[in-house]
Amino acid sequence: MTSFDIVFGSFLVSALRSATPLVFVLVGETLVQRTGSINLGVEGQMLVGAMAGYGAAALWGDPWLGLVAGAGAGMLLSSVHGLLTLAARANQFASGLAVWMLGFGLSAYYGAGLVGRKIEGFGTWRGAGLDDVPVLGPIVAGMTPTVLLALVVAPAVAWWFWRTRTGLVWRAVGESPEAARAAGLRPIRVRLQAILLGGLLSGLGGAALSVDHTRTWAEGMTAGRGLVAVGLVIVARWNPWWVLPTALLFGGAEALALRLQTADAGVSAHLLLTLPYITSLAVLTLTCLRDRGQAAPAGLRAVMDR
């Protein structure tokens, strides 16, 4: 095994681990936007997911229960967005921001007692005999269960979305709610299902962040990951197949920032931390430059272009 393999392998592992929480959120938001909604509240849903997940893991000592609790909390909060946008027909951007504020406040309030608590996290497979397998060995050995879960969820959803009848229904609703209604489908119900599933996945992403990736809880700890996801859905061109590579862009930027920080490259850590946001905005800009907004589901374009 060459030293290149080791450096590249360990970088890929850190990029994957950074990308993991984002993968869940990105998959969820892709489905939400595909059915014709946009939910900025994913940031708040991630926060309540991170807080509830960390709290559950601390209380019951089981990180798996943390993931379940986080997913549930995210879904619960997303129902507010569903209520506001679907039942009350409120503006989607404003509703998303309201959900974000609410999630930020609720997670800060209920999470106050969790600051500084320790939890039992997931382990990796290091030392399980995998490390000596060439190339892939060290990469797999450095993963945690949430990374593997993300690697399974993204393609599974992509397959479901493109290959099943329900997936077809969801796509139809996003392309033309009127035509879908005329064909006997129920666009509002589908959108609600997508928002709730998006809430579940963003809560799961938040829990993956606090329970597994950072193993801490701090107020506002998601630091814009949910908002980054809303932008990266466009970069992934509303296609669940593209979620993994797109999330890796953010994960790679974050891993690079951390790498440069520990390597003492002479650049301030705070400046390096801007890398993931700037990278996300840059790829978003490049995507918009290429597509000119034409790749969006037609039902969503009405919301985005106004």
Partner 1 sequence: MSGGTVDRARAMAAPLGRPALAAAAFVVLAAVFFAVIGRNPLAMIGVVLEAAAGDSYAIGESLVRATPILLCALATALPARVGLISVGAEGQFYAGAIAGTGTVLSMLPTPGWTMLPLMLVTGALGGMVWSLVAGLLRTGLQVNETISTLLTNYVAALLVTWLVYGPWKNPASQGWPATVEFPAAARLPALFDSRVHAGLLIGIALAVVLHLVLTRTRWGLVLDVLRSNPRAGLVAGLDFRRNALIVMALGGALAGLAGIAETASIQGRLQSDIAGGAGFSGFLVAWLARNHCLRIIPLSLLVGALLASGDGLQMFAQVPSSVTLVIQGLLFVAVLLVNGWLDRKRPA
How far is 287 from 267, CA to CA, in rounded Å?
29
**DSSP, res 210:** I
- Residue 241 engages partner 1 in binding (rule: CB under 8 A): no
- Told to check if 271 binds partner 1 by CB under 8 A, we report yes
Q: Is 115 in the site for partner 1 (CB under 8 A)?
A: no
User: Of the two residues 113 and 245, which places its CB atom closer to partner 1 in the complex?
Assistant: 113
- Residue 285 touches partner 1, criterion: CB under 8 A: yes
Residue 212 CA to residue 285 CA, distance in Å, equals: 31
Binding test (CB under 8 A) with partner 1, winner from 185, 223, 260, 295: 223
* 76 touching partner 1, by CB under 8 A: no
**CB-based contacts of 212: which residues, under 8 Å, 6+ apart?**
20, 63, 121, 122, 144, 145, 146
43 vs 149: CA distance, rounded Å = 21
52 with 203: CB under 8 angstroms? yes
Residue type, 32: V
The residue (of 5 and 175) whose beta carbon lies closer to partner 1 is 175
Q: Using CA atoms, how far apart are residues 160 and 178, in angstroms rounded to an integer?
A: 23
Q: Based on CB atoms, which residue is closest to partner 1, 7 or 281?
A: 281
Q: Any contact of residue 222 with partner 1 (CB under 8 A)?
A: no
Query: Which residues between 12 and 71 bind partner 1 (CB under 8 A)?
Result: 40
Alpha carbons 32 and 297: distance in angstroms, whole number: 11
The two tokens of residue 2 are 């060459």
Q: CB 258 → partner 1: shortest distance, Å?
A: 15
Q: The dihedral of CA 104, 110, 116, 119: what is its sign?
A: negative
In whole angstroms, the minimum distance from the beta carbon of 163 to partner 1 comes to: 30
Interface stretch with partner 1, choices 16-24, 58-66, 168-176, 277-285 (CB under 8 A) = 277-285
Residue 122: DSSP 8-state: -
To partner 1, the closest distance from the beta carbon of 214 in angstroms equals 17
Look up residue 120 and give its two tokens: 């039992």
- Could you say whether residue 243 binds partner 1 (CB under 8 A)? no
260 binds partner 1, rule: CB under 8 A = no
Helices (H) and strands (E) in the chain, counts: 14, 0
- Residue partners of 266: CB distance under 8 A and separation at least 6: none
Is residue 306 involved in binding partner 1 (CB under 8 A)?
A: yes
Helix axes 298-305, 165-175, angle to 10 degrees: 40
- Site stretch for partner 1 (CB under 8 A), options 26-34, 62-70, 88-96, 140-148: 88-96
Binder among 68, 106, 130, 185 for partner 1 (CB under 8 A): 106
Positions in the binding site for partner 1 (CB under 8 A) = 40, 80, 83-85, 87-91, 93-95, 97-99, 101-106, 108-109, 112, 219, 223-224, 227-228, 230-231, 234, 268, 270-271, 273-274, 277-278, 280-281, 284-285, 288-289, 292-293, 304, 306
